[in-house]
Amino acid sequence: MLMGAAITSARPTAVRLTDVELFAWIAQAEPGARLEYHRGFLGVDNTPVISLLPEPDRARLADLATAALGAFEKGLVHLVQARLGTDRFAYIAIARPRPRAAQASLSRLLLAERQAA
């Protein structure tokens, strides 16, 4: 997935994944499973004034980034990035073993995170 020629374009990839889809993936993912949730430069692509994404895509990316960070803070995923080229990264969520207390109510935990955002 991350091997191959470096991509040199700084233009972000269109946002294809939503925060709800990320939550659904986390709810069913086995520990160690990986999901690339963005490709580009998240700090730039997420910022209203400098993002090259159309506003609806930028807003979706902001929601997705917030959801990924919330899942990380709850101990549900590791967040890593792989450099693909100049100013271009793959952002990857890696599923962690579910906390025992969260197994029965994982959907509720993730939905609460979305509503808080």
Strand ranges inside the chain, DSSP E: 34-40, 77-85, 88-95
Nearest alpha carbon to residue 41 among 1, 82, 2: 82
Q: Where are the domains of the chain?
A: 19-116
The pTM assigned to this predicted structure is 0.74
pLDDT, residue 70, reads 95
- Per-residue pLDDT tens listing for the chain (117 residues): 443 333 333 445 555 889 999 999 999 999 999 999 999 999 999 999 999 999 999 999 999 999 999 999 999 999 999 999 999 999 999 999 976 665 556 666 666 666 666
Taking the C-alpha atoms of residue 87 and residue 12, their distance in angstroms, rounded to an integer, is: 10
pLDDT, residue 6, reads 37
**β-pair partners for 80:** 92
pLDDT, residue 116, reads 66
Taking the C-alpha atoms of residue 84 and residue 26, their distance in angstroms, rounded to an integer, is: 24
